Amino acid sequence: MCGHPTQPFHHRGVGSASPGDYRRCPHCGLSMLEADAWLDREEERAYYKTHENRPGDPGYLLHLERLITPLTQAIPAPANGLDWGCGPHPVLADRLRTKGYQMAAWDPAFGPAQPAAPADGWDFITCTEVIEHLHEPRTSLKAMLHRIRPGGVLAIMTEWLPEPRQFNRWHYRRDPTHVAFYSPNSLRWAAQHFGCTVELPAQGVALFTRSQCTDGEHP
């Protein structure tokens, strides 16, 4: 993500459920699955269809509240939002519509072209359980921030990278489409790099507020 050299972090080992080996950046703290273990786009899409993120699942709806609560406090309705990476079921967008928000939803694996942003940018973009799938995190984060108006919010939810001794047993890495793992420091690095502020209001939740800068990224 930051361009610094990475170091070996975790070796799969014989009989491991891990999809491959991992490297970690000592500068920004990002850990990534080595590229030779990444699925191709069609394999990813097929795996996404096995996810059970259904609108009628009380557990999943409660999970989304971790992000909804701080987001709606930061950006009260009415406001225009985009759910980036909504999957085949735009559950989060539907929930926010019931709270008075105008929502668009898009997923590069399932949807057509990305919806056009309002003239001055989206008031917010939600990105739940998405950034762990990104092959080029810095490029994708920049693209999201560029579509948000100055003062708008990028709301992210993922799982924080655990301590190295816990990584081998961590369920999150066993999903073969999960290739990038972030610590709070990784997201603080990203905020500084893009000239944003960031709050971490709940476990696994980050709210980036875009600054007034025009390009969304420091030179």
Residue 218 pLDDT > 60:
no
Give the span between the Cα atoms of 146 and 215, in whole angstroms: 7
Tokens linked to 130 = 């998405």
Q: What is the pLDDT of residue 215?
A: 47
Long-range contacts of 13-18 (CB under 8 A, 24+ apart): 16/168, 17/174, 18/168, 18/173, 18/174
pLDDT of residue 48: 85
> Facing residues of 80 across strands?
102
Residue range 78-124, pLDDT digits in tens = 999 999 999 888 999 999 999 999 999 999 888 778 899 999 999 99
Q: pLDDT averaged over the chain? A: 90
Question: Which helix or strand (DSSP H or E) is residue 69 part of?
Answer: helix 58-74
The SS3 of residue 141 is helix
Sign of the torsion angle spanned by Cα atoms 172, 73, 85, 133: negative
Q: What is the pLDDT of residues 191-213, one digit of tens each?
A: 999 999 999 999 999 999 998 65
pLDDT of residue 18: 74
Contact (CB, 8 A) for 172 and 178: yes
